[in-house]
Amino acid sequence: MKPQKMSAASRAVKRVDLETRLTDEHHQALKLWLRLLSCTNMVEAQVRNRLRTHFGTTLPRFDLLAQLERYPAGLNMSELSRRLMVSGGNVTGLTDQLEKEGLVARSDDPEDRRAYTVKLTASGRARFARMAAMHEQWVIELFAGLGASEKTQVHRLLAKLKLHLGSIAGREA
């Protein structure tokens, strides 16, 4: 019997699916962790691809714009770096690009002469609003495989896990 050929989509899932190496003998917690990680990676890959395809942008740029949208008065570069959990150099590079495109503007930080405050421009607010609306629809689509009560249940269980993880981090600090 001739072996069946895998489709490109199946090969891609096999390649990125962290669960493929697990067996029944692996601990349930390890299986759960890898399932969460696999789902997160798959959702993120879809969002990254759609941002690139529909808006010609990247997830880090979208995230920076999202932070600024939440703070209309702007954020300084070090606060952006902290919120995005990336280096100051990364934030500077992203800000430089977005400023050239007219989506953000820098101004001197009134509280620190060595720092800048970054704000969305009117054009940046309008562009981000379009991206955010599409992003929300994509996330809704990606989670449509679960019913409303299932989403509520998963959300509740993950909140419980997050609380537990927070308590462990608090004990170790």
Compute the distance between CA of residue 79 and CA of residue 17 in angstroms, rounded to an integer: 34
What local confidence, expressed as pLDDT, does residue 25 receive? 76
Range with the largest mean pLDDT of 4-8, 62-66, 88-92, 169-173: 62-66
Beta strands in the chain (DSSP E): 75-76, 104-109, 112-120
- Tally the C-alpha atoms within 13 A of residue 7's C-alpha that lie toward its C-beta: 3
Q: What is the pLDDT of residues 15-33, one digit of tens each?
A: 557 677 767 777 888 889 9
Task: Give me the domains of the chain, ranges plus CATH numbers.
Answer: 24-142 (1.10.10.10)
Model pTM score: 0.81
Alpha-carbon separation of residue 34 from 37, 62, 104, 165, 166 (angstroms): 5, 26, 38, 16, 20
What local confidence, expressed as pLDDT, does residue 47 receive? 98
Q: What angle do CA 161, 165, 170 make, to 5 degrees?
A: 145
What local confidence, expressed as pLDDT, does residue 112 receive? 80
Q: What is the pLDDT of residues 38-90, one digit of tens each?
A: 999 999 999 999 999 999 999 999 999 999 999 999 999 999 999 999 988 89
What local confidence, expressed as pLDDT, does residue 8 receive? 55
3-class secondary-structure state, position 134? helix
3-class secondary-structure state, position 104? strand
Q: What is the dihedral of CA 156, 17, 54, 76, to 10 degrees?
A: 60
What local confidence, expressed as pLDDT, does residue 167 receive? 93
Compute the distance between CA of residue 61 and CA of residue 118 in angstroms, rounded to an integer: 13
Compute the distance between CA of residue 37 and CA of residue 48 in angstroms, rounded to an integer: 16
Quickly state the pLDDT bin for 166 (edges 50, 70, 90).
Answer: very high
Q: Residues 75, 91: contact at Cβ < 8 Å?
A: no
